[in-house]
Chains A and B, each alone.
Chain A
Amino acid sequence: MSEAVAEPQGSAGVVHDWSRDKQVFGMPWGKAMMWFFLLSDTFIFSCFLVGYMKVRISTTDPWPNPSEVFGLTVFGQSVPLLLIAIMTFVLITSSGTMALAVNMGYRKDRKKTFWLMVATAALGATFVGMQAFEWTKLIMEGVRPWENPFGAAQFGASFFMITGFHGMHVSAGVIYLLVVAFRVRSGFYEKRGGKYEIVEIAGLYWHFVDLVWVFIFAFFYLW
């Protein structure tokens, strides 16, 4: 198929995309499907966050102060939100290595793609590890889904539910990235036309998980 005619730009381009035959978006099926999935997943996290906001408003007990609860004491000094800051930094960094991996994937540099994806997965695993540390710390301090010593019971419930659901997304992402990374290295995709769109598709998911974390960070830890 020849695409001789230059495609119109701007709003005319949008009309052209939606009114043509075969396909609306000039992208592979898997990538389009990942976008639709992420749109749906956005609604899941939005519902979680809206639900958390509602119970935070409706509960009668005072809400714990997140800066104190999530503070760490280092060298005898209490630093608010220290661990969360490091976790956020790690996750955002992993988005950077992921973006590089996508670039290397399209350059068909299999070795660099592999190592960058492994680095991304390692940073993701570090994030999950630190989250496990944070959970352990809070549980030791007596925070439970049904009660906590700092105030409203919904604090622990929302915390474990939302960070748990996000942590599951990160863990799934780590596995997904590793599977794709090892397939890239083994030449699996060479037999299938040598296309490395799958790296970008995995990357979309990974960036989404990072973006969700930014919202959780803003609404749960900073509010």
Chain B
Amino acid sequence: MGYVAIADRDHEEEHHDPDTFITKYIWSQDHKVIAIQYGITAIFVGVIALILSAMMRLQLGFPDTFSFITPENYYQFVTMHGMIMVIYLLTALFLGGFGNYLIPLMCGSRDMVFPYMNMLSFWVYLLSVIILLASFFVPGGSTGAGWTLYPPQAIMQGTPGTDWGILLMLASLGVFIIAFTMGGLNYVTTVLQARCKGMTLMRMPLSVWGIFIATVLGLLAFPALLVSAIMMLLDKTVMTSFFMPAISSMGQVPENYTGGSPILFQHLFWFFGHPEVYIVALPAFGIVSDLLSTHARKNIFGYRMMVWAIIAIGGLSFIVWAHHMYVSGMNPYFGFFFATTTLIIAVPTALKVYNWVLTLWEGNIHLRVPMLFAIGFIFTFIHGGLTGLFLGNVTIDLPLSDTYFVVAHFHMVMGVSPVLVVFGAIYHWWPKITGRMYNETLGKWHFWMTFLGTYAIYLPMHYLGFQGVPRRYFAMGDTDFMPASAQDLNAWITIFALFVAFTQILFFVNVFISLKSGKKADPNPWKATTLEWQTPDTPPKHGNWGHELPVCYRWAYDYSVPGYPDDFIPQNVPPEEAPAGRQHGVAEH
């Protein structure tokens, strides 16, 4: 008996349109509403993280000036800023936000496969955010252990927030992982099992590929974080000794800890932590590919190579984790192994960068706001990627590891780059999400001030790193090896950090103006080929496609095909009506 795909079964087609305000906008099971809920929550915590970073910079740029920033506060700001940005903003926004919005629309599905679980995913995520933010208000404040939460110091007296802050942080991470798992299983199953007719994997837009592989990474990497969080909770609450060796603190042996392994935590944490880098980066790679191709009116260069590069990066990301631990000490052969795998990952990554540049080559480039952000991403990503090659080598990493060089490196590659893509993607899909256009001029100002501002922040930071200025310090004080000019540079960096932070107001102004009085958007303002622009309604209604599901006839990149009047052919235009562009290995049915 032939198995009939679920999407083709009659009884699966029935859809109950939600009619009350609450089922439509609050307890909604519609993937688009859930995506917006995820997006708003993630951006909200992101703003908090931005404010925290501004406070850190105030202290570093002008030490002894602000009495409200104590050393304890400073470490709490560092910790919360890092954790929020990496997990609660970027992971949640790329996968929960863009993943939710784009996967069903780009794959031609009506919704995620299990909408109810998808809704639970958001509410559990919101709970994790509330637990996280609650830790600001408990006695002792939030944890100040650094975003990596290394034991023993994370749970020992002397670190800020060892009473309640660390407990809430670990609990919040556990809850977040539950939320992510519920969402992630939905995204993976939807991509693999619920595409529309004609949509093969090798016809999917690269955005979906990036989000899909990132979700797979998340499902396999977050378990390590969950386990390390559980073990640390046990170490903290019931005095087990998983991570805690016999230890003396401030001249006495305070606890009956004995025989645990702090290095074990580092291994577990980075077995999660390194794939996490690519959980954030791969969706950015995918989205940027689509932005470049659409706004350059040219097919993406080397689509298959791009897909396999995403898969290769995803696979390699699981065998490079110990490059975060060179200074922890390890067998030199392990160092050699992890340095090698780390440098190998540069191959598929460089391949993607070449392909982005080649996509622009001889394209009909429209420098609209999303395109500016996409091109800006190529700059910052190359920049951060190249410094990554330095840090991947054991001998170069050792002296640089505890300096601002590392801070500059990962903010370039993992902070600025994905955030530029986030903005580019929001501008790109804004007309589809809201049905309104934004102000192009404001958007351009937003881009240029952010882009140039970040260079003014992070280029000097590399130099500070070469000078040996240590990271994580509350104040540098009088140190012989640091020239006095280091402090001047720190003040410069702070001024531009505040400048960039305030620049983001332009974005919110743009959002409000657009929502209030923006021009009504064309269903397909960028003349893009992918399915989400071909919906019968803008913004798409519940069920996305009206009565009939779309049929996909071609890959996502038929731009400027010779012999066709338009310079783009949407994926749902049949071959009889338009020339086939480039064909891709499609199984015939």
Q: A29-B114, A154-B260 are in contact. Are A146 and B193 (CB under 8 A)?
A: no
Q: A2-B2, A36-B219 are in contact. Are A21 and B552 (CB under 8 A)?
A: yes
CB pair B241 A29 closer than 8 Å? no
Q: A19-B201, A58-B259, A152-B259 are in contact. Are A37 and B196 (CB under 8 A)?
A: no
Q: State the majority secondary structure of interface residues on A.
A: helix
Chain A residues with CB below 8 A from B222, complex form: 40
Q: Which chain A residue shows the least CB distance to B1?
A: A3
Annotate B96-128 by CB proximity to A: 1 below 8 A, 0 otherwise: 000000000000000001100000000000000
Partner of B202, one of A3, A19, A192: A19
Chain A residues with CB below 8 A from B3, complex form: 3, 26-27
Cβ of A215 under 8 Å from chain B: no
Q: How far is the CA of A59 from the CA of B8 in the complex (A)?
A: 57
CB pair B587 A16 closer than 8 Å? yes
Chain A residues with CB below 8 A from B226, complex form: 44, 47
Q: How large is the interface on B (under 10, 10 to 19, 20 to 34, 35 or more residues)?
A: 35 or more
Cβ of A149 under 8 Å from chain B: no
Q: How far is the CA of A23 from the CA of B195 in the complex (A)?
A: 6
Interface set, chain B 311-333, CB cutoff 8 A to A: none
Cβ of B439 under 8 Å from chain A: no
Shortest distance from the beta carbon of B60 to any chain A beta carbon, whole Å:
36
Chain B residues with CB below 8 A from A51, complex form: 227-228, 231, 242, 264, 268
Interface set, chain B 242-278, CB cutoff 8 A to A: 242, 256, 258-261, 264, 267-268, 271
Cβ of B589 under 8 Å from chain A: yes
Annotate A140-168 by CB proximity to B: 1 below 8 A, 0 otherwise: 00000111000011101100010001000
Chain B residues with CB below 8 A from A157, complex form: 234, 240-242
Q: How far is the CA of A145 from the CA of B231 in the complex (A)?
A: 11
Cβ of A18 under 8 Å from chain B: yes
Chain A residues with CB below 8 A from B228, complex form: 47, 51
Q: Give the size of the chain A interface in residues (CB under 8 angstroms).
A: 49
CB pair B220 A40 closer than 8 Å? yes
Interface set, chain A 38-55, CB cutoff 8 A to B: 39-41, 43-44, 46-48, 51, 54-55
Cβ of A219 under 8 Å from chain B: no
Cβ of B7 under 8 Å from chain A: yes
CB pair A146 B585 closer than 8 Å? no
Annotate B360-397 by CB proximity to A: 1 below 8 A, 0 otherwise: 00000000000000000000000000000000000000
CB pair B189 A33 closer than 8 Å? yes
CB pair B238 A146 closer than 8 Å? yes
Cβ of B293 under 8 Å from chain A: no
Q: How far is the CA of A16 from the CA of B586 in the complex (A)?
A: 10
Cβ of B26 under 8 Å from chain A: no
CB pair A3 B2 closer than 8 Å? yes
Cβ of B398 under 8 Å from chain A: no
Cβ of A32 under 8 Å from chain B: yes
Q: A1-B5, A3-B2 are in contact. Are A58 and B219 (CB under 8 A)?
A: no
CB pair B199 A36 closer than 8 Å? no
Chain B residues with CB below 8 A from A43, complex form: 219-221, 223-224
Q: A1-B8, A146-B241 are in contact. Are A25 and B220 (CB under 8 A)?
A: no
Q: How far is the CA of A61 from the CA of B587 in the complex (A)?
A: 61
Cβ of B51 under 8 Å from chain A: no
Q: Which chain A residue shows the least CB distance to B193?
A: A23
Chain A residues with CB below 8 A from B199, complex form: 21-22
CB pair B241 A18 closer than 8 Å? no
Q: How far is the CA of A73 from the CA of B238 in the complex (A)?
A: 31
CB pair B241 A154 closer than 8 Å? yes
Shortest distance from the beta carbon of A41 to any chain B beta carbon, whole Å:
8
Cβ of B501 under 8 Å from chain A: no
CB pair B268 A29 closer than 8 Å? no
Cβ of B527 under 8 Å from chain A: no
Chain B residues with CB below 8 A from A145, complex form: 234, 238-240
CB pair B223 A55 closer than 8 Å? no
Cβ of B200 under 8 Å from chain A: yes
Chain A residues with CB below 8 A from B456, complex form: none
Residue ranges of B at the interface with A (Cβ–Cβ < 8 Å): 2-9, 11, 113-114, 181, 184-186, 188-189, 192-203, 219-224, 226-228, 230-231, 234, 238-242, 256, 258-261, 264, 267-268, 271, 552, 585-587, 589
Q: A-B pairs with the 6 shortest C-beta distances?
A: A3-B2, A59-B259, A157-B240, A43-B223, A47-B227, A44-B223
- The 23 sampled A-B contact pairs (Cβ below 8 Å) are A1-B5, A2-B2, A20-B589, A21-B195, A21-B196, A21-B203, A21-B552, A23-B6, A23-B193, A24-B193, A29-B6, A29-B113, A33-B185, A37-B185, A40-B185, A40-B222, A43-B221, A47-B223, A51-B231, A54-B261, A60-B258, A145-B234, A161-B230
